[in-house]
Structure 1
Amino acid sequence: MPPRPTTDTVRKIVLIATEESGDRLGANLMKVLRQRLGDAVQFEGVGGRAMAREGMNSWFPIEELSIIGLAAVVKQLPKILRLIKQTAAAVTEAAPDILVIIDSPDFTHRVAKRVRASDPKIPIVDYVSPSVWAWRPGRARAMLTYVDHVLALLPFEPEAYLRLRGPPCSYVGHPLTEQLASLRPNPEERQRREAPPPVLLVLPGSRRSEIRHHMAVFGQALARLNAEGVAFELILPTMPHLQEAVAEALKTWTVQPRVVIGEQEKRAAFRIAHAALAKSGTVTLELALAGVPMVTAYRTGAVEAWILQRVINVSSVILANLVIGENVAPEFLQQDCTPEKLSQVLRELLGESALRRKQLEAFANIDRIMSTGNLPPSARAADIVLSTMRKARR
């Protein structure tokens, strides 16, 4: 029987994730790290339910940072700053072998800067790069002072860090690449995807503000399509916490969708979808991996739109386009997001058009572009975390 690890051999790893997506990434990383280190690892930090199942006793509930909208952030700023200060102090007191910050850069990077100032010996890995390639590129070089390695989810990000003179950055893979079976149709679902009437997905967003900005214009676009005699079966996937907001917004729609609730039902809808009308974001990458042609749109408040128009410096805001390296999915932003423009492109995508064929051909290459070889993203991430930790101990 192997000897139990002593205090000197147990590796203490602090992870900080403050959103559900980061919580899932953190949980998968913890699982692999425990496989690599066995009983010789101890986890501390901040996380949600998924990380708790892997042994994390969170320093505070991540729901305390579920703040949406500029006005809400301003109102809660003293609380946010207090939590940043307390979290950084807790990391320094824990004196871990490594700190892993996961996404949520407005919070986690502020913690990391404080930790580096308090104890420069603690190595810091950033899991999920901030969008330095899209806006505020100077952040990449600034990160050199407090981040030792960046774990990128998107294949073009390491090159961006080289160009912007940021810290070392490695592409570890996107978690969606581990979920392809749930996104792609079996033979029966493929048959439904190609059969009339075509299934059209409408995806207005995963936040209440996005529902508020997109539902009306999406409903008007679909009404135009219906009035023109275009046949389709409409499905609207959403999450439980948005069900009431969606139901209220649907009262003004003349074409009523079948509403499906939860991640499992959403993926089932993706597997039979012929086309989609989607808010820009990660969902566009999900649709591309599922092989569903799309038209994308985004609307936000006037102040946020004014700021974004002046700082974004990429050719597309659509994640699928950026990964593919070509603007194959049409995007309609702010004043360009109109019922007329959306319905016109949807009509093309529901038929056998050149636009539809172009998207399908581009999506066929996405597996190659996003490949990480034989190792899943969480395993590649764990290897770099352990390697960074070992270098710091020399």
Structure 2
Amino acid sequence: MAETAKPRHIMLVAGETSGDALGGPLMQAMKKLSPVPLTFSGVGGERMLAEGMESVFPMTDIAVMGPKEIIARLPLILKRMRETSNHALETRPDLIVMIDAPEFTHNVARRIARKAPEIPIIDYVAPTVWAWRQGRAKAMAKKFRRVLALLPFEPQFFAAHAGLECVYVGHPAIERVPEEGAGKAFRDRHGIPHEARLLAVLPGSRTNEVNRLTDLFGETLAVLARALPDLHAVVPTVPHVRETVRAKTADWPVRTVLTEGEAEKFAAFDAADAALAASGTVALELGLARVPMVIAYRSDPVTAFAIGRMLKVPSVVLPNLILDRPSIREFLGDHCKPEDLAAALVPLLKETPERKAALADLEEMRAIMGTGGEAPSIRAARAVLDLLPGK
């Protein structure tokens, strides 16, 4: 019986808040599915601690971003790498799950795999090796037994490039879709007429993105407003760039609503007719919310040149990669011009064949990603427990 069975020890390592957000639900799902008791140790944040994690040290010690912060804390980070790998070698868990943060977790996995190759190690969240530096896939095969993928095209890539088993479990964005009726309530709340056209504008969540794109997006709205006099805009934003966005959108030529918070963001998506967004995960969120979109991105010339040389995929837009065709129009670098962005958006803001085709493509993407099925955390838990030795 499960009540008298010997507990199995699973070690998990998350290096940042996004990993903790995956790790907590994963632990909860594993406890639900496992026929035997489980104990957890490793490194985690609040959500993982709440599920019974015994963390070797506070996750905040390694949850750093940006070169300056990493360099300043490098001695501590290297110490925490040693402590994490030593914990695995001392406690000999039945299985290890490394969650995202590859700069930290992959280094720890390499140390453990070298000294204790019998312990299965799983990588949860495949790094974007398919986009650039594809050779890293073979290096991953030397330390990981299985990879859990958030995107449906990743298993085929890892099989072809590294002979590494990869299981598609689904992206957490699948569960972050607008509630029914959220868009109507959003328009009522913000005084946006139901017959008015509403464009969601998303210039990014980093300060440099906001500075590069917000003025461009405002100029695009000026062009659109001449063709669509009833146009309104909504800009979902985050606290650390809120005041910058507020200042830059103050003189936009259409009535603009600024919002904060996940619930308001997804309600805005449900209310919007189309979107103009920076490249990133938001394109996936918009697609899952059935919002036709145009993607634009500018970076500094050196970064743009380097990315252009390294990029191995035909698009930077995730829905295009999932659909394996250029469904969503993207304008990068010098191609980001207000007139061109507006021309691409107008058909999406009207009842046109282009809008109908865009909506059909997004429904296809949703089906490929498995919306409406099992939660990604349940799929991930099953893929992890399947590798427990002697299960």
TM-score (norm 1): 0.88
Distance 2:56 2:255 in 1: 44
Distance 2:251 2:185 in 1: 31
Aligned to 2:319: 320
Q: Decide which moves more: 240-249 or 296-305.
A: 240-249
Contact 2:183/2:272 (CA < 8 Å) preserved in 1?
Answer: no
Aligned to 1:42: 39
Matches within 5 A, 1:116-127: 116-127=113-124
Seen in structure 2, the aligned counterparts of structure 1 residues 153 and 232 have a Cα distance that, compared at 3 Å, is same
Give 5+ residue unaligned stretches, structure 2.
Answer: none
Among candidates 118, 126, 150, match of residue 129 of structure 1: 126
Give 5+ residue unaligned stretches, structure 1.
Answer: none
- Deviations 1:35-90 (CA, angstroms, capped at 9, x unpaired): 13377211112222222221224334444444444454445444433333332223
Aligned to 1:281: 280
Q: Decide which moves more: 209-218 or 11-20.
A: 209-218
Q: CA deviation at 1:186?
A: 6.7
Q: CA deviation at 1:339?
A: 2.4
Seen in structure 2, the aligned counterparts of structure 1 residues 358 and 374 have a Cα distance that, compared at 3 Å, is closer
Q: CA deviation at 1:153?
A: 1.2
Q: CA deviation at 1:108?
A: 1.3
- Deviations 1:251-310 (CA, angstroms, capped at 9, x unpaired): 564545211110011111111110001111221111111111001112223333222111
Contact 1:230/1:347 (CA < 8 Å) preserved in 2?
Answer: no
Aligned to 1:18: 15
1:381 partnered with 2:377: no
Distance 1:212 1:79 in 2: 33
Aligned to 1:213: 212
Seen in structure 2, the aligned counterparts of structure 1 residues 185 and 312 have a Cα distance that, compared at 3 Å, is farther
Distance 1:60 1:246 in 2: 37
Aligned to 1:88: 85
Distance 1:297 1:165 in 2: 33
Distance 2:207 2:213 in 1: 10
Distance 1:372 1:234 in 2: 28
Among candidates 48, 51, 73, match of residue 51 of structure 1: 48
Q: CA deviation at 1:159?
A: 0.9
Q: Decide which moves more: 87-96 or 40-49.
A: 87-96
Matches within 5 A, 1:116-265: 116-180=113-177, 182=178, 185=181, 188=184, 195-227=194-226, 230-251=229-250, 253-255=252-254, 257-265=256-264
Seen in structure 2, the aligned counterparts of structure 1 residues 12 and 249 have a Cα distance that, compared at 3 Å, is farther
1:340 partnered with 2:342: no
Q: Decide which moves more: 304-313 or 73-82.
A: 73-82
Task: Calculate the aligned-residue CA RMSD, in Å.
Answer: 2.8
Q: CA deviation at 1:3?
A: 5.2
Distance 1:306 1:82 in 2: 35
Q: Percent identity?
A: 41
Contact 2:8/2:36 (CA < 8 Å) preserved in 1?
Answer: no
| Aligned partner of residue 364 in structure 1, secondary structure | helix
Query: How many pairs align?
Result: 388
Code of the aligned partner of 1:266: K
Distance 2:250 2:62 in 1: 32
Distance 2:25 2:174 in 1: 14
